[in-house]
């Protein structure tokens, strides 16, 4: 086993000083991790276009500041009250401010949009949308705005036109919203062309999708509020991409070239506004075609290239154009095992594989020098990091950021400077401005540890070797009064699923503050990112294919073996908790390895993958009829008779991600078997219990562990 240990230095509390420290309450740990205890940051940092000046806002977003690289002092520029007086507006903050040019910025409260000139100290309202408007997308150049109301799309133009893009009365036809359950990197449903004269939008036909019943108990009597929920193996939505032309007020539609329920993903316009690039993925998610269409007619032009894999192909990033005067583009693909950058011409010919890293490229963030230098984020050799690199079009790669950790990056418009902000294991938050050739130009903010006055224990990041030889990252939290001669019970916090990474080189090592509270109750809190989790490459992640739970549990049990090897761990008092995929893992461990954990608390768990959505579930498990054995083995109903310890199941009653049928089916199975367990619903909460009720949730979870793990 390979191991390294890092301590959060500010958290190390000597015995002599511990009596002077404040006690952290569970309520504060839950509600104030990012408020009272959140590190000081430079909020809302934005470079002002075509200058070396920048703006940022106060912690409460009420004051706008201006400074420059050369200035040593920041200048209070505007208060939101003053801006409101000038505009005759009722804006509550500067949140979401964006610069139009070096003198003008745009502000919005979500329905009203304002333009403000900092030279003339004048401004005006440019839009006032209906309160029913959602998903608004503002185009800075043209100042046109697209939005949805209900299932339809609308556009308001800078010249005052109000355009109806779609007018479908059939509620099964949904336009302008995210499709495919927001998989494949999809976060929205509206896409402006670069000139703001064409609007692409997703449209999905959900006629074939089953209506799933959710119940609104706030009504008397209670009312159904059904959602469309495509379960694995059942009929799915049929997508289209519409392209609306503002000049002609006409829409053309693009349908999948393959099956009607293929996925259309990663939409982007070319810089010349003439074409749209769309990645089409078949429903089995093992074949992707990157297709080009004419924006004007919607006609298919050509397939640029294809990607196949016997497990899955999952494009998550649209084509990126480094030079706004060329249709040559960069594609992010993990075809060689890790996300890397591939540079193509517009005919689909590979010009150059720009990166050949054995670590994960996360995203492209900016370019300079007419697109000849590309900045991107990546993990680097230590997968817990998020670092910034640059690469030129010859493939010369440079590490830009100086410190290990989790970085944010902002390049000024002329490329002469960049802002780098980061946190890591020992740094709560630090931000600086650097010259493009790597000299520090200005320090901005370095935050102190806001938890320094509280009794807080230590966090240790380690690695261990899994049974297949994989290096696995772990986090162990100990109490402030840790005594290696004592025996401690352990709470294992688990997620374990794709696209998630629990252990990161960031402040608190990616942990929730309630975990440190739990440690002060005399516990060790342990987390391991096993195979299947994110940011480790395709081989590491894809071992879960068609057998969810198997290798993930094997790695968690390797972590348990490590814990049992520690002289200060009480192996007879192990508890496990997780949510969503972590709820599936928690319950799987309790049922399939009942001798290991004495207590489990599973929130919003998947209990049978046949009840889960098509887009995610079929990627990892294939369809139920294609993988009968895999579905049966992964189903918690198959193993329910093995329960020995205390198990609490929790679910939001209107969960639209992991529907309550998962927990209901498992509870029924326990009842059928005559096995006692515990169940707690959170009425009218969705997949995550949020707001003040989250304090109740965490108290419920931890109290259950403390009371039963004896």
* Cβ(529)–Cβ(493) below 8 Å: no
pLDDT at 186 over 60: yes
DSSP state of 118: T
At residue 607's C-alpha, the angle toward residues 601 and 613, to 5°, is 125
Q: What is the DSSP letter of 197?
A: S
Task: Report pLDDT for 398.
Answer: 98
Mean pLDDT along residues 67-82: 96
Residue 437: inside a domain: no
Q: Please state the domain count of the chain.
A: 1
Burial annotation 279-288 (CB, 10 A radius, 16+ → b, else e): bbbbbebbbb
Q: Are strands 488-493 and 569-579 parallel, antiparallel or unpaired?
A: parallel
Distance CA 415, CA 436 (A): 7
Residue 19 confidence class, pLDDT cut points 50, 70, 90: low
User: Mean pLDDT, to the nearest integer, of 45-50?
Assistant: 97
Q: Is the pLDDT of residue 7 over 80?
A: no
The three-class DSSP label of residue 476 is strand
Q: Is residue 188 in some structural domain? A: no
At 182, phi and psi to the nearest 5? 60, 30
Across the beta sheet with 569-579, what order do the strands follow? 458-465, 471-478, 524-529, 488-493, 569-579, 599-603, 646-652, 678-682
Catalytic residue among 193, 333, 390, 580: 580
Q: What percent of the chain has pLDDT over 70?
A: 97
Is residue 687 part of the annotated active site? The answer reads yes
Which helix (H) or strand (E) segment is 314 a member of? none
Instruction: Answer whether 205's CB lies under 8 Å from 238's CB.
Output: yes
Listed in sequence order, the residues at least 6 apart from 664 whose beta carbon sits closer than 8 Å to its beta carbon are: none
Mean pLDDT of 212-237: 98
From the list 317, 462, 655, 685, the catalytic residue is 655
Tell me the C-alpha distance between 353 and 342, whole Å.
4
Residue 603 domain-assigned? yes
Catalytic (active site) residue 317: no
- What CATH number is given to the structural domain containing 658? 3.40.50.1820
- Candidates 392, 687, 693, 696; catalytic one: 687
- 189 near 179, Cβ under 8 Å? yes
CA distance 589 to 552: 10
Given a contact cutoff of 8 angstroms between Cβ atoms, the answer to whether 25 and 520 are in contact is no
Q: Is 487 inside any structural domain?
A: yes
Residues 602-627 have pLDDT tens digits of 999 999 999 999 999 999 999 999 99
Place of tokens 């309550």: 660
User: Angle at CA 413, nearest 5°, toward 407 and 417?
Assistant: 55
465 in a domain, yes or no? Answer: yes
Return the pLDDT at 3: 37
> Whole-angstrom Cα distance, residue 609 to residue 625?
12
Domain presence at residue 475: yes
How far apart, in whole angstroms, are the C-alpha atoms of residue 660 and residue 651?
A: 7
Residue whose structure tokens are 């007619």: 297
Q: Which helix (H) or strand (E) holds 496?
A: none
Q: Which two tokens stand for residue 379?
A: 């993990």
What tokens does 166 get?
């779609």
Q: Which domain holds residue 19?
A: 9-36+450-708
pLDDT digits (tens, 9 = 90+) for 491-524: 999 999 999 999 999 999 999 999 999 999 999 9
Taking only the tens place, the pLDDT of each residue in 328-368 is: 999 999 999 999 999 999 999 999 999 999 999 999 999 99
Whether the Cβ atoms of residue 153 and residue 107 lie closer than 8 Å to each other = no
- CA-based nearest residue to 251, from 297, 195, 202, 294: 297
Long-range contacts of the stretch 82-85 (C-beta < 8 A, 24+): 83/107, 83/116, 83/123
Question: What 8-state DSSP symbol labels residue 249?
Answer: T
SS3 29: helix
Confidence at 369, pLDDT banded by 50, 70, 90: confident
Tell me whether residue 581 is in a domain.
yes
Active-site residue flag, 580: yes
In this prediction, residue 20 carries a pLDDT of 85
Q: Is residue 589 part of a domain?
A: yes
Q: Is the pLDDT of residue 48 over 60?
A: yes
Q: How confident is the model at residue 6 (pLDDT cuts 50, 70, 90)?
A: very low
Q: Residue 621 has what pLDDT?
A: 98
Q: 476 is written with which tokens?
A: 């162990």
* pLDDT tens by residue, 556-565: 999 999 999 9
CB 37 within 8 A of CB 450: yes
Whole-structure pTM value:
0.95
The answer on pLDDT for 5 being more than 80 is: no
Question: Long-range pairs for 244-250 at CB < 8 Å and ≥24 separation?
Answer: 244/153, 244/155, 244/163, 244/165, 244/198, 244/199, 244/200, 244/201, 245/197, 245/198, 245/296, 246/144, 246/155, 246/157, 246/163, 246/197, 246/198, 246/199, 247/197, 249/163
């Amino acid at each position: 086993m390979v191991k390294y240990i890092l301590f959060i230095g500010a958290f190390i509390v000597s015995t002599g000083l511990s009596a002077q420290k404040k006690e952290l309450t569970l309520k504060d740990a839950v509600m104030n991790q990012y408020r009272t205890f959140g590190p000081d940051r430079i909020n809302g940092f934005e470079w002002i276009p075509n200058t070396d000046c920048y703006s940022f806002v106060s912690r409460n977003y009420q004051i706008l500041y201006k400074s420059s690289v050369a200035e040593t002092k920041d200048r209070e520029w505007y208060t939101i009250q003053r801006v409101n007086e000038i505009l005759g507006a009722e804006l509550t903050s500067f949140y979401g401010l964006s610069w139009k040019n070096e003198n003008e910025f745009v502000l919005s409260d979500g329905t009203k949009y304002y333009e403000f000139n900092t030279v003339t100290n004048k401004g005006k309202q440019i839009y006032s949308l209906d309160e029913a408007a959602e998903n608004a997308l503002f185009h800075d150049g043209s100042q046109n705005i697209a939005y949805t109301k209900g299932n339809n799309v609308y556009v308001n133009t800078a010249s005052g036109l109000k355009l109806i893009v779609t007018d479908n009365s059939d509620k099964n036809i949904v336009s302008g919203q995210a499709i495919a359950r927001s998989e494949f990197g999809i976060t929205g449903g509206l896409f402006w062309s670069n000139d703001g004269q064409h609007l692409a939008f997703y449209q999905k036909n959900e006629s074939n999708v089953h209506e799933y019943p959710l119940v609104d108990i706030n009504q008397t009597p209670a009312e159904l509020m059904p959602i469309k929920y495509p379960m694995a193996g059942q009929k799915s939505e049929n997508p289209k991409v519409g392209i609306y032309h503002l000049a002609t007020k006409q829409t053309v539609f693009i349908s999948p070239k393959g099956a009607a329920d293929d996925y259309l993903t990663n939409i982007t316009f070319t810089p010349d506004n003439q074409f749209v690039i769309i990645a089409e993925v078949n429903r089995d998610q093992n074949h992707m075609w990157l297709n080009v269409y004419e924006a004007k007619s919607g006609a298919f032009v050509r397939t640029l290239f294809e990607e196949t894999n016997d497990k899955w192909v999952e494009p998550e990033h649209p084509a990126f154009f480094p030079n706004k005067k060329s249709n040559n583009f960069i594609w992010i693909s993990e075809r060689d095992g890790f996300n890397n950058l591939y540079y193509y011409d517009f005919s689909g010919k590979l010009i150059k594989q720009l990166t050949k890293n054995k670590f994960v490229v996360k995203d492209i963030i900016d370019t300079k020098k007419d697109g000849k230098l590309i900045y991107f984020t990546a993990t680097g050799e230590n997968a817990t990091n998020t670092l910034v690199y640059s690469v030129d079009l010859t493939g010369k790669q440079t590490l830009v950021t100086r410190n290990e950790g989790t970085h944010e990056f902002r390049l000024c418009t002329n490329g002469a400077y960049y802002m780098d902000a980061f946190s890591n294991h020992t740094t709560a938050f630090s931000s600086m401005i650097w010259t493009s050739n790597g000299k520090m130009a200005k320090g901005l903010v370095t935050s102190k540890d806001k938890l320094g006055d509280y009794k807080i224990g230590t966090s240790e990041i380690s690695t261990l070797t899994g049974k297949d030889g994989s290096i696995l990252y772990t986090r162990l939290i100990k109490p402030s009064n840790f005594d290696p001669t004592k025996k401690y019970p352990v709470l294992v916090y688990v997620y374990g699923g794709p696209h998630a990474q629990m252990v990161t080189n960031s402040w608190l090592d990616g942990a929730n503050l309630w975990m440190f509270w739990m440690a002060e109750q005399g516990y060790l809190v342990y987390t391991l990112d096993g195979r299947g989790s994110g940011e480790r490459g395709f081989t590491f992640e894809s071992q879960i294919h068609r057998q969810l739970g198997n290798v993930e549990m094997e790695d968690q049990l390797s972590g348990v073996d490590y814990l049992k090897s520690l002289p200060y761990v009480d192996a007879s008092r192990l508890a496990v908790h997780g949510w969503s995929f972590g709820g599936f893992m928690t319950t799987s461990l309790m049922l399939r390895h009942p001798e290991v954990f004495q207590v489990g608390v599973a929130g919003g768990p998947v209990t049978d993958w046949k009840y889960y959505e098509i887009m995610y579930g079929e990627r990892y498990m294939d369809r139920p009829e294609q993988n009968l054995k895999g579905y049966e083995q992964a189903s918690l109903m198959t193993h329910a008779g093995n329960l020995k310890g205390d198990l609490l199941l929790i679910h939001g009653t209107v969960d639209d991600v992991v529907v309550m049928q998962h927990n209901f089916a498992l509870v029924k199975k326990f009842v059928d078997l005559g096995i006692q367990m515990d169940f707690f619903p959170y009425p009218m909460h969705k997949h995550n219990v949020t707001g003040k009720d989250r304090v109740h949730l965490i108290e419920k979870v931890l109290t259950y562990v403390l009371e039963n793990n004896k």
